[in-house]
């Protein structure tokens, strides 16, 4: 083993202790007090490993943490989140455990192991000056309060390393689809369904027309999905529905498709006479296109070889992360550098213990390499529009 891999392997007991502490503090995104308590634990562990206390940034009650290390300008951003999808009480049902080389517990894979790896990787750097570690507390909600913070930090850095969990088999995430979220509201006219239905304008029927129109917008050849999801209409069974609505989830590989679908959504028009259609929402996260990660992935391949690690594999995935935001402001971004395992958001969530020191070594080597030789910015711009205006991806 190389010295860095040896160092991270020796640190494995401390890595597991830190992960136990983080998993042991439940942090469902919607529970502001729980997220604040979790931030206390993250801050304590990060301070112990990095030797510096973080800035505590509370926005609309949501708690985020930022470490800016050394006196040099920020050049490398390590990005993660400490909130999870698991409600309070999940830990009692699925307690933290390490058994047979596998860690289990709510939030261990997505993505508390990634945070622990970040702290230990930065602690292993000979000089971490120029590294920023940003840990947000609302990513699982779509980053409604932290998006601007992520974009601001990324704009000042030459590279963003995202500690989200790996793809299947430990693959790095070299592309992510962009996300748009819409609500289609239909305004009709209520009437008695038995006495005088002809006086009504049936919102359910208009919704059916609109759902079919939206269902015609995907382009599978370009990887574009446009999916009508939750739908509600009417109030009682004997009333012509006077209003209704449905949600639409859009996933795209490139900015051009995101713009095409956005134009088509806002061009929807009512079919029934006297019905009215209202469209709200729009792009939430720009796509992380492959060109944004190509340079960093190539470096990761070279560094893995130097460390004696298997050659990394890169894949594009449909889910979004805060890496979409960093790529959207033109910062080279590599995602999926966190834990190897599986079961994100599911009862079988787990982390492979043996991979923790290897991934930590790769992360440390990549950060050190980028500090010494920062890459050029990609020049990409955020197709999703201004920050802090759109909410809602839960992927």
Report d(CA 275, CA 287) in Å as an integer: 35
Report d(CA 283, CA 168) in Å as an integer: 27
pLDDT in the model for residue 1 = 84
Does the 3-176+288-372 domain belong in CATH 3.30.43.10? no
Strand 76-81 relative to strand 159-162, pairing: parallel
pLDDT in the model for residue 376 = 86
Residue closest to 60 by CA, chosen among 135, 136, 134: 136
156 annotated active-site: no
Residue 394, number of CB atoms within 10 A of its CB: 15
Show pLDDT as tens, one digit a residue, over the chain (395 residues).
Answer: 899 999 999 999 999 999 999 999 999 999 999 999 999 999 999 999 999 999 999 999 999 999 999 999 999 999 999 999 999 999 999 999 999 999 999 999 999 999 999 999 999 999 999 999 999 999 999 999 999 999 999 999 999 999 999 999 999 999 999 999 999 999 999 999 999 999 999 999 999 999 999 999 999 999 999 999 999 999 999 999 999 999 999 999 999 999 999 999 999 999 999 999 999 999 999 999 999 999 999 999 999 999 999 999 999 998 899 999 999 999 999 999 999 999 999 999 999 999 999 999 999 999 999 999 998 877 655 444 433 322 333 33
Report d(CA 336, CA 17) in Å as an integer: 22
Chain position carrying tokens 């469902």: 28
CA 297 to each of CA 124, 272, 312, 329: distance values in angstroms, whole numbers, following the listed order: 21, 52, 8, 19
Identical fold at 3-176+288-372 and 178-285?
A: no
**What is the C-alpha R_g of the chain?**
23
Select which of 18, 138, 139, 151 is catalytic: 139
Chain position carrying tokens 């050029």: 376
Residue closest to 299 by CA, chosen among 176, 159, 168, 170: 159
Report d(CA 149, CA 60) in Å as an integer: 13
Strand order in the sheet with 62-68: 55-59, 62-68, 131-136, 76-81, 159-162, 333-334
Record: fold of 178-285: Alpha-Beta Plaits (3.30.70)
Residue 3, number of CB atoms within 10 A of its CB: 10
In terms of Cβ atoms closer than 10 Å to its own Cβ (0-12, 13-18, 19+), residue 199 is exposed
139 annotated active-site: yes
pLDDT in the model for residue 380 = 52
Tell me the two tokens of residue 161: 């390393």
Select which of 26, 83, 262, 355 is catalytic: 83
pLDDT in the model for residue 338 = 97
Report d(CA 349, CA 335) in Å as an integer: 19
3-class secondary-structure state, position 208: helix
Question: What pTM, to 2 d.p., does this model score?
Answer: 0.89
Tell me the two tokens of residue 278: 């209202």
- Please state the domain extents for the chain: 3-176+288-372, 178-285
pLDDT in the model for residue 377 = 79
pLDDT in the model for residue 205 = 98
């Amino acid at each position: 083993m190389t010295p860095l891999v040896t160092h991270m392997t020796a640190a494995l007991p401390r890595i597991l202790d830190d992960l136990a502490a983080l998993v042991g503090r439940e942090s469902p995104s919607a529970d502001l007090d729980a997220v604040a308590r979790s931030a206390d634990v993250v801050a304590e562990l990060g301070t112990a490993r990095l030797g510096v206390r973080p800035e505590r940034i509370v926005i609309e009650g949501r708690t985020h943490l930022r470490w800016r290390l050394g006196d040099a300008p920020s050049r490398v951003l390590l990005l993660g989140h400490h909130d999870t999808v698991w409600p309070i009480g999940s830990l009692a049902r699925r307690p933290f455990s390490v058994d047979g080389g596998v860690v289990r517990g709510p939030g261990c894979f997505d993505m508390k192991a990634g945070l622990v790896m970040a702290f230990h990787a930065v602690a292993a750097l000979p000089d971490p000056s120029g590294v920023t570690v940003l840990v947000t507390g609302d990513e699982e909600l779509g980053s409604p309060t932290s998006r601007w913070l992520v974009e601001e930090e990324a704009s000042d850095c030459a590279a963003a390393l995202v500690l989200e969990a790996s793809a299947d088999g430990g693959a790095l995430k070299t592309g992510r689809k962009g996300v748009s979220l819409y609500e289609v509201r239909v305004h009709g006219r209520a009437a008695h369904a038995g006495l005088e239905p002809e006086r009504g304008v049936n919102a359910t029927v208009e919704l059916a027309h609109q759902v079919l129109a939206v269902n015609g917008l995907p382009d599978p050849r370009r990887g574009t999905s446009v999916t009508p999801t939750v739908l509600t209409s009417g109030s009682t069974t004997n009333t012509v529905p006077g209003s209704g609505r449905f949600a639409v989830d859009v996933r795209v590989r490139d900015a051009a498709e995101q713009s095409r679908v956005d134009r088509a959504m806002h061009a929807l028009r009512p079919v029934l006479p006297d019905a009215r259609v209202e469209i709200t929402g729009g792009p939430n996260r720009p796509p992380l296109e492959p060109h944004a990660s190509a340079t960093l992935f190539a470096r990761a391949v070279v560094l893995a070889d130097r460390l004696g690690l298997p050659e990394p594999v890169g894949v594009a995935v449909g889910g979004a992360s805060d890496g979409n935001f960093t790529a959207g402001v033109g910062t080279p971004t590599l995602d999926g550098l966190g834990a190897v395992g599986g079961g994100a958001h599911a009862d079988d969530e787990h982390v492979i213990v043996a991979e923790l020191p290897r991934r930590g070594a790769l992360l440390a080597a990549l950060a050190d390499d980028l500090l010494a030789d920062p890459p050029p910015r990609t020049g990409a711009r955020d197709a999703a529009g201004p920050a802090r205006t759109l909410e809602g991806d839960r992927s």
